[in-house]
């Protein structure tokens, strides 16, 4: 059974994988330093969990970059990185209802009056951001009739000492609940969870049919009921071990400036629904940590957003098309590209597979299909297959006028996009024999290089 306390997760991960946690003890600025550290580490190919113990102006430590490494996400689920999709699907399908907790560190401090949100630990991520942002804000709202909850991430910034500006641009289920509230002329009660167990965060990123409560998915991922307490005013069930929870209402009729913010596309976006959240209670642990999510097209932001979606898509594709041998969403394509390897059984199958994926995945713009011998985890191999197997007049399928991501800076103002399938599998009349190196020559080369060692390599030439 998973311990649901983030503090326990951090301690245990540090103990078991000390090389996978980088702790910065010197004082750093709350103005972009954590993001800059993550960017410079990524440039070196490093994706450790980052603990910043002394961020100027923050009265607590900051932990970020938790989802940047797929190996680490695999460890959270108890599997190697290659098995994340199957494990995620198996666990998330076992819906487990939450349980009211006997003990709740979150209730260490419950403030219902005199709220000043400026006392919350918040950092600025990019120079181009409007200001400091809460990037790990999971909003929970419950359906007014059924009580079924919904969880989703929404970038959030301070608007006044008691108000938060937030964006519902992905127009998911929170947006739908807000519309129901508006039709009834009521505000929508919500609880914003800032910091909780990483598997709770993963559940917050899941996209499920309307009416499936992501708190039950969190239970499935954790392998035990999510331990919850109810917020003091609206009784919304929130994790008992959360770091901070803000409770209040979104007023469907109030709009305030929000954005720009550095988004997953790698661009600073001010496409926002400009919603206003009035905060009425603040709950926090005595020893609260700021659990941050790196923004922009960081590995963390991309992994967190797409692991649940990838898992669903891989399962669907494999079920319907047994000829699919591998699927990969490359980071270079943010949320917009996918590569599929296929062992085609009949002509046209690759196109059918691409159309399936382009239809099912709400974010995708481009799918590239390649033969099974191409390694889809390597951009350069896929680009080589496109360069040498594809004839654009024959192998490009484009469909226009589909709903797209509001944050794609190249998409139309009305939110539609075109989508493209590139069939880079070899056609029946393909005329090429792949240049090969014999295995014994490769083995000899390995032996020579091993003898020459690092320094001697130059003398080989």
Ligand X SMILES: Cc1cc2nc3c(=O)[nH]c(=O)nc-3n(C[C@H](O)[C@H](O)[C@H](O)COP(=O)(O)O)c2cc1C
Compose the 3-42 pattern: x for residues touching ligand X by CB under 6 A, - for all others. Answer: ----------------------------------------
Closest separation between CB of residue 270 and ligand X, Å? 12
CB nearer to ligand X: give 48 or 305. 305
Biggest CA pair distance of the chain: 79
Strands 237-239 and 275-284: unpaired
Residue nearest to ligand X (CB): 172
Q: Rule CB under 6 A: is residue 304 a binding residue for ligand X?
A: yes
Cα 125 to Cα 78, 161, 214: the distances in Å are 31, 20, 27
CA distance 184 to 353: 43
Rule CB under 6 A: choose which of 157, 170, 268, 344 binds ligand X. Answer: 170
Rule CB under 6 A: choose which of 92, 167, 269, 311 binds ligand X. Answer: 167
Closest separation between CB of residue 204 and ligand X, Å? 7
Closest separation between CB of residue 35 and ligand X, Å? 14
Compose the 229-268 pattern: x for residues touching ligand X by CB under 6 A, - for all others. Answer: ----------------------------------------
Distance of CA 141 to the CA centre of its chain: 20
Rule CB under 6 A: choose which of 9, 126, 133, 153 binds ligand X. Answer: 153
Phi, psi of 402 (to 5 degrees): -100, 155
Closest separation between CB of residue 73 and ligand X, Å? 13
Q: Which among 247, 229, 246 is positioned nearest to 238, based on CA atoms?
A: 229
Q: How many residues bind ligand X (CB under 6 A)?
A: 19
Q: Rule CB under 6 A: is residue 168 a binding residue for ligand X?
A: yes
Among residue numbers 185 through 224, which ones bind ligand X (CB under 6 A)?
205-207
**Binding region for ligand X (CB under 6 A) out of 11-19, 46-54, 146-154, 372-380:** 146-154
Closest separation between CB of residue 244 and ligand X, Å? 16
CB nearer to ligand X: give 213 or 423. 213
Q: Rule CB under 6 A: is residue 154 a binding residue for ligand X?
A: yes
CB nearer to ligand X: give 66 or 245. 66
Kindly report the number of other CB atoms within 10 A of residue 79's CB atom: 17
Residue 362, CB half-sphere, CA atoms under 13 Å: how many?
Answer: 16
Closest separation between CB of residue 348 and ligand X, Å? 33
Closest separation between CB of residue 24 and ligand X, Å? 22
Q: Rule CB under 6 A: is residue 293 a binding residue for ligand X?
A: yes
CB nearer to ligand X: give 14 or 143. 143
Closest separation between CB of residue 296 and ligand X, Å? 11
Compose the 78-97 pattern: x for residues touching ligand X by CB under 6 A, - for all others. Answer: --------------------
**Binding region for ligand X (CB under 6 A) out of 217-225, 231-239, 250-258, 298-306:** 298-306
CB nearer to ligand X: give 154 or 365. 154
The residues binding ligand X (CB under 6 A) are 150, 152-155, 167-170, 172-174, 205-207, 293, 301, 304-305
């Amino acid at each position: 059974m998973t311990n649901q306390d983030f503090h326990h997760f951090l301690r245990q991960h540090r103990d078991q994988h000390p090389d996978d946690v980088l702790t910065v003890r010197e004082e750093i600025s709350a103005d972009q330093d954590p993001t800059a550290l993550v960017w410079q580490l990524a440039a070196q190919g490093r994706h450790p969990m980052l603990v910043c113990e002394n961020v100027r102006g923050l009265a607590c430590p900051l932990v970020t970059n938790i989802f940047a490494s797929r190996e680490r996400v695999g460890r959270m689920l108890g599997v190697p990185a290659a098995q994340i999709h199957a494990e995620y699907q198996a666990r998330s399908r076992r819906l487990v209802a939450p349980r009211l907790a006997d003990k709740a560190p979150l209730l260490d401090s419950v403030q219902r009056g005199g709220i000043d949100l400026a006392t919350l630990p918040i950092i600025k991520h990019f120079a181009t951001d409007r200001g400091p942002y809460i990037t790990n804000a999971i909003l929970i709202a419950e359906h007014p009739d059924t009580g079924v909850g919904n969880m989703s991430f929404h970038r959030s910034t301070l608007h006044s000492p008691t108000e938060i500006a937030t964006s519902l641009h992905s127009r998911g289920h929170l947006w739908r609940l807000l519309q129901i509230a508006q039709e009834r002329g009521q505000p929508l009660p919500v609880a914003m969870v800032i910091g909780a167990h990483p598997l709770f965060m993963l559940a917050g990123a899941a996209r499920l049919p309307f009416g499936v409560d992501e708190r039950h998915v969190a239970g499935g991922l954790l392998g035990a009921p999510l331990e919850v307490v109810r917020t003091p005013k609206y009784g919304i069930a929130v994790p008992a071990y959360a770091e901070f929870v803000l409770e209040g209402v979104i007023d469907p009729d109030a709009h305030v400036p929000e954005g720009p913010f550095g988004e997953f596309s790698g661009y600073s976006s001010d496409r926002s629904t400009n919603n206003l959240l009035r905060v009425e209670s603040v709950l926090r642990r005595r020893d609260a940590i700021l659990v941050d999510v790196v923004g922009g097209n960081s590995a963390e932001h991309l992994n967190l957003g797409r692991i649940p979606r990838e898992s669903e898509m891989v399962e669907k594709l494999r079920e319907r098309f047994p000829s699919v041998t591998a699927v990969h969403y490359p980071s270079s394509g943010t949320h917009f590209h996918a590569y599929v390897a296929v062992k085609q059984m009949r002509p046209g199958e690759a196109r059918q597979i691409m159309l399936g994926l382009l239809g099912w995945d709400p974010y995708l713009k481009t799918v590239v299909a390649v033969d099974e011998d191409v390694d889809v985890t390597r951009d350069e191999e896929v680009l080589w297959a496109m360069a040498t197997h594809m004839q654009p007049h024959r192998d490009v399928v484009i469909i226009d006028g589909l709903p797209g991501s509001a944050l794609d800076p190249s998409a139309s103002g009305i939110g539609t996009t075109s989508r493209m399938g590139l069939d880079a599998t070899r056609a029946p009349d393909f005329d090429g024999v792949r240049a090969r190196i014999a295995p014994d020559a490769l083995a000899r080369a390995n032996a020579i290089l091993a003898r020459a060692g690092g320094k001697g390599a130059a003398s080989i030439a």
